[in-house]
Amino acid sequence: MTFSTCDLCDANEDKLASGELSVIPPVFMRFGANARFSGPAVTIKLFEDNGMVRSTLETPGDGQVLVIDGGGSFRCALVGGNLGVLAEKNGWAGIVVNGCIRDVDEINLCNIGVRALAAMPVRSHKKGGGELNVRISIAGVAIFPGDWIYADADGVLVAKPS
């Protein structure tokens, strides 16, 4: 996979202006072995409960990117090392978390890309609450299921499918 978010922005200034291509503000830290990843979005909206994250990552990822709107909470982690391994094993390209992760050393060994606001050692609840494949918003950018996510060292883009 070869792309550059800078090149995508330069080549698609009209789509940036129309909103077909959006840049998530630079709020994320980079984790995981893959600095660059892309794929169609699977979205989850939840708060401090990662049960639905596990059940989703247990399904075949087929190169998709799991985008989790955790409400920006810094009180607990929504993804840890076991879920990173599960995502890699099941073929997910990456995970974007509007919230925290934990087990950073373990996640950094996984052959996936991860973006999150921060690391936090406290684990989340596991009640299974949340909404799957709904419109979410991260840092003012709307993300719909099926939107394409492009992430590299320069940023994270959201592109409407053609």
Task: Please state the residue numbers annotated as binding site for Mg(2+).
Answer: 103
Task: Please state the residue numbers annotated as binding site for substrate.
Answer: 80-83, 102
Distance CA 79, CA 68 (A): 10
Asked if residues 55 and 128 have their Cβ atoms less than 8 Å apart, the reply is yes
Task: Please state the residue numbers annotated as binding site.
Answer: 80-83, 102-103
Asked if residues 15 and 91 have their Cβ atoms less than 8 Å apart, the reply is no
User: Which distant-in-sequence residues (6+ apart) come within 8 Å of 40 by Cβ?
Assistant: 63, 64, 65, 145, 146, 147, 148, 149, 161
